[in-house]
Every structure is written in C-alpha cells, then in structure tokens.
Amino acid sequence: MTFTFESIVQHLQLVGAYLGFSIAVLRLVRYKKNRVNVIYGVTFLSIGLFLALGFEASGSLPEPDVGMGSEYNLSLLYFGLVIFSCAIVRYLMRRSIGLNEVKSKEIGLCLTGTFGALFFLSLFFRNATAMNAAGNAICALITSYTLVEITTSIRTRKLPRVYFNLSLISFFMCLAVLLDLIGILRGDIRFRQISNFIPGLLLVYFHLLEIYYPMITDKKTIHSLSLTYKINRRQEAAAAETQAKSPRKKLEVSENKNLLKESDLSRIEERLKFFLEEKRYLDEELRLPDLAAYLGVSVHQASLYLNQYKNMSFTDFINQNRIEEAKRLILEETNRNLIDIGLECGFNSYSPFHRACIRFTGFSPKELRNMVLQK
C-alpha cells in the first residue's frame, strides 16, 4: 500500500474529525462538573462536523460555474460550522485570560452571528466559488481579530508565557483559513488539503496543553484573572477621571519626580533593603504610610519612588515579596497547609493569596506548591 500526500492529509483530517467528536462527547458527559463543558462540547462537536463535511471536498475545488445547488448548500453548511467554531473559540479564549465569563448565552450570540453571516453569503454570493472565498474571508477576519485581541491582552497585562499558546492556536486558525482561501483563488488543491488537516492538529495541541497546563481552563484561575482584570479596569477609569479633574496633575508629578531625584536616593534604597531583610512586608496591617515612615519620606514620595524606580505599585511590591516568602515556606515546610502559609506571609485570607499567586507566578497556590517541590 502506497501513501501519497493527498491520502496522508485526508487520513489526518479524518482522525481530526473523530478526535473532535470524541472530545465533544467527553466534555458533554462531564457537564455537571463544570457547566462550561457544554460550550466546549458544542465547540468540539462543531469542529468535528466541519472536518467530516470537508473530508469529501478536500480532494476538489468548487466549480466557478456551479450555481445554487446541492454542492452550494453543502458548502454553505460547512462554512456555517466553521464561522460558528471561530466565533465560539474566540469567546473561550477570552474566558481563559479572564476578559469575560463565558455563559450559555454565548452559544446563542454566536449562532445569531453565524446565521447572519450565512444570510449575507447566500444573498450576495450565488455560486460556490464566490461563496467559498467570501466564507473564508469572514473566518479570516474573525481569527485575525482574535489573534490581535488575545496577544495584545496577554502582553499588556503581563500574563504568564503559557498563555501565548492561545495566540499560537489563533495564529494557526488564521493560517488554515488563509491557506484555504489562497487555494481557491489560485486553483491549487494542495493549499486546501494542508488547510484541512490543521484543525485536527490544533485539537491535539489544545488537548495536550490542557493536560500539562490545566490553569488554561481551570475555573478558579480564570475567576481570579477575571477579577484582577475588572479591578484594573476600575482603577484605570478612576485614574482617568482624576486626571480629567486635575489639569495640573502632569506638571505636579514632574515637579515631584524632580524633587525625588534631588533627594538622597541611596538612603531610601538602603532603608528599603533593611525593610526587606527584616521582612516587614509580612505584617498584615502594613500600609503605604507605614512604609513611608520607615523610609523617612512622605507618602507621596514613597509612592512615587515605587512607581518610578521599581515600576510597580505599593500593593504589587508588597505582594510580590510575600509570594517569594511563600515559595520559601513551601520548600522548607512541605507538609504545611497552604492557607496557613498564606496567612503567615501577610495575606488576611486565602482569596488574596490565590489572586497574588496567579498574578505573579501564573499558578494557583496548589500548582505553585507542586512546581516548587518538583524543582
């Protein structure tokens, strides 16, 4: 038995379809454990269906002279599934990085958008070739927007590098769509064949990613990221409002910065070194005025010093050092309860300890313990 490029690609596409159906069934069976599994199940089912529908079409290109018929209707159904999959994957990726809490209504929104796109395609593109090209263009628009949106959010919020795997997935989604579009426009079947087995590979990649980095879909981790994102948005809005009310703010900050530069920075840094050595940050009641008093400067100068020379806020500065202390305690006291460790490090409850772990390490306290002990 000889294997050609076409047969290998078709077999990989068929394997991808079976994998999509299998993962979909597994997710739907586990819906009681996590309601979001319903959305994941529907997504994987949709991917499996369009891979199965595209299996027969992978060996041919749409005929330019063929109008609205069975082939046209099949292509319309195919692109309906692809457009829906691209849209729902975007929502799931946004959920993974805490931009929104995906709920069951998102399926309805994606379905509404998909039907709108199908109506547009059927209304303005009356032959199979034009409809295939337009369908791919819509998918390319969704996937490219997803790539830019997810990557920008990860970079600006300084999330752990593991989240860039989502950018990689969205990139290959966009690549698959563009390859199919190029194949149609150039009349080259090889581009379409390569495009059709990429989704199957992405299913395998995501499945392995979820196994080795469960934080990608972990409900508690996502909730912490979402909460942090909302808090940051509120702080940014409050800062913008304050700036709008104070037109002289920039001038004052500039003057204060110059004033701070003229002060004895070496003395401040030396006092800060003692502050860290004495582990004063472990005090649960520690506030910015306490740090300012220890450094021998005003509250405004202490805040300005942290912002300008440490590139972080007072809260981030304290919590980052607390997390480093937590790592040390985890390593030295392996059997100690994580809640006790969090309390000893200065967190007043487990919740802020969990949020700080996610922010500065990308892992939940439990995952951080496993990682530290493995090293």
| Torsion angle in degrees (nearest 10) through CA of 48, 53, 57, 62 | -120
Q: What six digits make up the tokens of 149?
A: 């949106």
How many residues are present in the chain? Answer: 375
Output the pLDDT for position 150.
92
Domains and CATH numbers, the chain: 5-212 (1.20.1070.10), 219-245+313-375 (1.10.10), 247-311 (no CATH)
CB 216 within 8 A of CB 260: no
Q: From CA 93, how far away is CA 170, in angstroms rounded?
A: 9
Q: What are phi and psi of 158, to 5 degrees?
A: 55, 50
Check residues 32 and 68 and name the one with the higher pLDDT: 32
Mean of pLDDT over the chain: 79
> Could you tell me what percent of the chain has a pLDDT over 70?
78
| Torsion angle in degrees (nearest 10) through CA of 359, 365, 370, 371 | 20
Q: What are phi and psi of 311, to 5 degrees?
A: 55, 40
- DSSP H stretches of helix in 187-263: 189-212, 219-245, 249-262
Q: From CA 97, how far away is CA 159, in angstroms rounded?
A: 8
pLDDT at 293 over 60: yes
Output the pLDDT for position 172.
93
pLDDT per residue over 14-28, tens digit each?
Answer: 777 778 788 788 888
> Could you tell me what percent of the chain has a pLDDT over 90?
9
For the ranges 110-114, 124-128, 219-223, the lowest mean pLDDT is seen at 219-223
Q: What six digits make up the tokens of 365?
A: 């306290």
Q: From CA 225, how far away is CA 319, in angstroms rounded?
A: 16
Q: From CA 287, how far away is CA 291, in angstroms rounded?
A: 7
Output the pLDDT for position 192.
80
Q: How far apart are the first and last CA of the chain?
A: 48
For residues 215-235, give the mean pLDDT.
Answer: 69
- Whose CA is closest to 353, among 337, 334, 335? 337
pLDDT at 296 over 80: no
Q: From CA 193, how far away is CA 55, in angstroms rounded?
A: 9
Query: pLDDT class for 173, splitting at 50, 70, 90?
Result: very high
pLDDT at 11 over 60: yes
pLDDT per residue over 36-59, tens digit each?
Answer: 788 888 888 888 888 877 755 555
Output the pLDDT for position 152.
92
Q: From CA 108, how far away is CA 136, in angstroms rounded?
A: 22
pLDDT at 147 over 80: yes
Q: From CA 254, how far away is CA 295, in angstroms rounded?
A: 21
CB 224 within 8 A of CB 39: no
Query: pLDDT class for 139, splitting at 50, 70, 90?
Result: very high
pLDDT per residue over 174-200, tens digit each?
Answer: 999 998 888 888 877 788 878 887 888
Check residues 175 and 310 and name the one with the higher pLDDT: 175
Check residues 114 and 14 and name the one with the higher pLDDT: 114
CA distances from 294 to 264, 273, 320 (A): 15, 11, 19
Output the pLDDT for position 251.
44
pLDDT at 350 over 60: yes
Output the pLDDT for position 58.
53
CB 155 within 8 A of CB 147: no
Check residues 61 and 33 and name the one with the higher pLDDT: 33
Output the pLDDT for position 144.
94
Q: From CA 236, how far away is CA 232, in angstroms rounded?
A: 6
Query: pLDDT class for 142, splitting at 50, 70, 90?
Result: very high
122, burial (CB in 10 Å: exposed 0-12, middle 13-18, buried 19+)? middle
For the ranges 69-83, 106-120, 170-184, 220-234, the lowest mean pLDDT is seen at 220-234
CA distances from 216 to 212, 213, 264 (A): 10, 6, 46
- DSSP H stretches of helix in the chain: 5-29, 36-57, 70-96, 105-124, 128-156, 164-186, 189-212, 219-245, 249-262, 265-277, 288-295, 299-309, 314-332, 338-344, 350-361, 365-374
Output the pLDDT for position 121.
85
pLDDT per residue over 236-287, tens digit each?
Answer: 666 666 566 555 545 444 545 555 555 567 778 888 888 888 888 888 888 8
Check residues 60 and 97 and name the one with the higher pLDDT: 97
CA distances from 146 to 88, 158, 274, 311, 340 (A): 11, 18, 47, 29, 41
pLDDT at 337 over 60: yes
Output the pLDDT for position 185.
83
